[in-house]
Structure 1
Amino acid sequence: MIFSKKAEQIEASITLAITAKAKEMKKNGIDIIGFGAGEPDFNTPENIQSAAIEAMKEGLTKYTPASGIIELKEAIVEKFKKENNLNYKPSQIIISTGAKQCLANAFMAILNPGDEVIIPTPYWVSYPELVKLSDGVPVFAKTDEKNSYKYDVGKLEKIVNDKTKAIIINSPNNPTGSVCTREELLELADFAKRHDLVIISDEIYEKLMYEEDEHVSIASLSEDAYKRTIVINGVSKTYAMTGWRIGYAAADEKIIKLMSNIQSHATSNPNSIAQYASLEALVGDQSSIHDMIKEFKSRRDYAVERINKINYISCIEPKGAFYVFINISKIIGKTIDGEKINGSLDFCDKLLEKGKVAAVPGVGFGLENFIRISYATSMENIKNGLDRIEEFINKLR
């Protein structure tokens, strides 16, 4: 029997695979410290939980409009206006089952077979696969550690062509934690205008920033950028609601209409209860965000300082999100117990097996000789986990 050739080209998520393997080892009684998770370790705030319970009691458990309830759309419109200087109408908003579905809807709405999408390397693991599922072609733009892994417009000019349809911007970035400045975004907006590209701006980590600079949405920089940008966001990271699966997107009315039509056949509406909980997240008490950011910053500061004191590895300081992208290039070729480390996958396999620490290999993000760890875990785990990594590295020959 012949199965879908497209489906057979899709790679499994390395992030989820590592997390699953670590969980299985934990289940078998092995003491594992997991640095793989891309989710806050905090519970969803109580006011949001209460809103979900109230929604159930009120019978708000039925189908909703496929693209989401109007109350939540209006709250998102207000959020964009107040926080991002962006003016949308509810008809320009779609609510989906997580930001990942928003991205999938967006690619299906804009791509035709053979259309190319520029993706920065390193990238979030699902970008290339979502593009391929929509019959597009991922084209990778290499970035430089010295430039905090951000786009170089000069290099972009060398890969753009008449097949290029879109460019992905992810700020704050997963896996590097880098954040684009207003000036850098203006350059990218101008690049997109010159080549008539759709901008996919993934802003899911917008609130998780640790410096004084404010998050800037590229769609807010000019009328042209506004018209050509699809803004992707959600409640998962900001409100510790990963399992609730609510994301949202804003764009030109025609694009949102296409995305909504696609969603209406693929999944219909996102979870009704989670939508009402998300409404409370956006309009209710925001103090939990500040507490979470304060704790993440403390963890980041410790992790970065500690990592840069360990032999053979180094990292840049992430400005946002909750990941550290660690350079392990000096370790490649070394051995442990007679076994050679040939790349990031080897390193992470042996670190999990012998060091009892789960990290994600950089090859999953398109960049070999790096690993990603998440500091969305307790300070105790961070300290113990980095101690174990140092102990593991000290055994290398």
Structure 2
Amino acid sequence: MLEHLVRGDIRDIAISGIRQMANRVAQYKDVLSLTIGQPDFPTPQHIVDAASRAANAGKTVYTPNAGLPELRDAAAAFVRTKYGLDYRGADETLVTVGASQAIDMALRTILEPGVEVVLPGPVYPGYEPLIRMCGAVPVYVDVTGSGFKLTAELLEPALTDKTRCVILASPSNPTGAALSPEELSALAELLSRRDLFVISDEIYSELVYDRPHASIAAFPGMRDRTIVVNGLSKSHSMTGWRIGFTFAPAYLTQHMVKVLQYNVTCAASVSQYAALEALTAGIDDALPMREAYIARRDYAYERLAAIGFDVAKPEGAFYIFPSIRRFGLDSTTFAYRLLDEQRVAVVPGSAFTALGEGYIRLSYACSMETLGAALDRLEAFVNSLR
């Protein structure tokens, strides 16, 4: 065994708590799962048909490293139409293997050993391992007292001369919090005065519920320092197609494409043709899904509040993040007992950094029937603790 020769920082990385819970669920046959953040809607049929046409036409070869030119143009047009972002397809847009690879590529391009990356906590657990593999240091800002939002007031004390990047995720996984234009403006005023980058993870941008999505890249002074990450997994229910995008100024994009080239060569060609259909003929495919999520969000929020949870109403994505502190169990014990005793699967809040302890994450990317039955069982479990 030569495991001792594996890089230490890789050995130290744990499997995501989300996946750990999903693996535990696999031991049972009768579980109502509210764990994985995957839309329960099928990929729209016209997108599947476009992929089929591309495959049958022999469009199964490598594309340019940056992605199909027509897809990059369509992606730039999409964010321009939807969010007022002005990027060129030719040299400011990249097609990636999902948003996850986009984040990895961006971090590899801008980070060096010893620099710091500031991000809110609790937060999606996929950022920290990538930061550490670059030799950089994650610095968490506790947002549990601010409606799960990274405000300018909370962020400023965390910025140092070592800060190389700030990560914003809006709407947020796991909390569903979404930054308002006013909140983004205050962040932009703070960040535009400093020599640092912003990675704005906007993968849930089409799932903002009560107002239009806003991007920090649209605010004065932010375009030249921001890498916007987006993709089709959540908006078009295309998780397995693995298509993401970055939008960034040309001086950054010209270097990120090098990482993309040597890392993955290019995104899958057939998936790129499916994405082209999604961003053109399917520009509003997310709207009916969003309406369904709003109904589920409202139902889940009202039920959880009635059961006795302290819970914030999500503004986007498809997660809700209630506090369990009043029930006297840590989040892992709560989640495991809920699974074992009621066959309902949720994700412990501790999966989203230590700042998520005391919470659980529920995904309502499931049918209303499943959601209702799961909340009935959750209520029964909570009553057994009282």
Q: TM-score, normalised by structure 1?
A: 0.93
Aligned to 2:264: 267
For 1:134-149, what aligned pairs fall within 5 Å after superposition? Answer: 134-145=134-145, 147-149=146-148
1:325 aligns with 2:321: yes
In 2, distance between residues paired with 1:187 and 1:197? Answer: 16
In 2, distance between residues paired with 1:66 and 1:354? Answer: 50
In 1, distance between residues paired with 2:101 and 2:173? Answer: 17
In 1, distance between residues paired with 2:284 and 2:168? Answer: 28
Q: What amino acid sits opposite 1:273 in the alignment? A: V
Shift >3 Å, 4+ stretches: 285-288
In 2, distance between residues paired with 1:5 and 1:73? Answer: 38
Query: Structure 1 residues 260, 277: closer, same or farther in 2, change over 3 A?
Result: same
In 2, distance between residues paired with 1:135 and 1:16? Answer: 24
In 2, distance between residues paired with 1:247 and 1:81? Answer: 16
Q: What amino acid sits opposite 2:374 in the alignment? A: G
CA-based RMSD? 1.2
How many residues are paired up?
A: 380
1:215 aligns with 2:202: no
Aligned to 1:380: 369
Aligned to 2:13: 10
Aligned to 2:118: 118
Of 350, 360, 366 in structure 1, the residue corresponding to residue 337 of structure 2 is 350
In 1, distance between residues paired with 2:291 and 2:181? Answer: 24
In 2, distance between residues paired with 1:81 and 1:379? Answer: 34
After superposition, the C-alpha distances for 1:272-301 in whole angstroms (9 at most, x for unaligned) are 110100000000134532211111111111
Displacement after TM superposition at 1:19 (Å): 1.6
In 1, distance between residues paired with 2:203 and 2:226? Answer: 15
Displacement after TM superposition at 1:136 (Å): 1.2
Of 210, 230, 241 in structure 1, the residue corresponding to residue 238 of structure 2 is 241
Given that residues 151 and 187 in structure 2 are in contact (C-alpha distance below 8 angstroms), is that contact kept between their aligned partners in structure 1? no
Given that residues 170 and 204 in structure 2 are in contact (C-alpha distance below 8 angstroms), is that contact kept between their aligned partners in structure 1? yes
In 2, distance between residues paired with 1:318 and 1:149? Answer: 10
Q: What amino acid sits opposite 1:382 in the alignment? A: L
Q: What amino acid sits opposite 2:267 in the alignment? A: P
SS in 2 for 1:118: strand
Q: What amino acid sits opposite 2:243 in the alignment? A: I
Given that residues 122 and 144 in structure 2 are in contact (C-alpha distance below 8 angstroms), is that contact kept between their aligned partners in structure 1? no
In 2, distance between residues paired with 1:396 and 1:111? Answer: 46
1:278 aligns with 2:275: yes
Q: What amino acid sits opposite 1:305 in the alignment? A: E
In 2, distance between residues paired with 1:24 and 1:94? Answer: 40
In 1, distance between residues paired with 2:124 and 2:104? Answer: 14
Aligned to 1:362: 349
Aligned to 1:150: 149
Q: TM-score, normalised by structure 2?
A: 0.96
Displacement after TM superposition at 1:254 (Å): 2.4
Displacement after TM superposition at 1:195 (Å): 2.5
Aligned to 2:294: 297
Q: What amino acid sits opposite 2:325 in the alignment? A: S
Aligned to 1:336: none
Displacement after TM superposition at 1:80 (Å): 2.2
In 1, distance between residues paired with 2:347 and 2:190? Answer: 32
Aligned to 1:200: 199
Gaps in structure 2 of 5+ consecutive residues:
none
Q: What amino acid sits opposite 2:345 in the alignment? A: A
In 1, distance between residues paired with 2:250 and 2:12? Answer: 32
Aligned to 1:395: 384
Aligned to 2:128: 128
Q: What amino acid sits opposite 1:221 in the alignment? A: F
Stretch of structure 1 that moved more, 288-297 or 316-325: 288-297
Given that residues 10 and 132 in structure 1 are in contact (C-alpha distance below 8 angstroms), is that contact kept between their aligned partners in structure 2? no
1:87 aligns with 2:74: no
In 2, distance between residues paired with 1:314 and 1:22? Answer: 26
In 2, distance between residues paired with 1:152 and 1:250? Answer: 23
In 1, distance between residues paired with 2:153 and 2:299? Answer: 35
Over the matched positions of the two proteins, sequence identity in percent amounts to 38
Displacement after TM superposition at 1:18 (Å): 1.1
Of 224, 227, 239 in structure 2, the residue corresponding to residue 227 of structure 1 is 224
After superposition, the C-alpha distances for 1:300-344 in whole angstroms (9 at most, x for unaligned) are 111000000113x22110010000001001112xxxxxxxx3x11
After superposition, the C-alpha distances for 1:151-202 in whole angstroms (9 at most, x for unaligned) are 2323322221110001011111111111111111011112212222201101
Aligned to 2:248: 251
Q: What amino acid sits opposite 1:320 in the alignment? A: G
In 2, distance between residues paired with 1:291 and 1:187? Answer: 32
SS in 2 for 1:327: coil
Given that residues 109 and 258 in structure 1 are in contact (C-alpha distance below 8 angstroms), is that contact kept between their aligned partners in structure 2? yes
Stretch of structure 1 that moved more, 287-296 or 244-253: 287-296
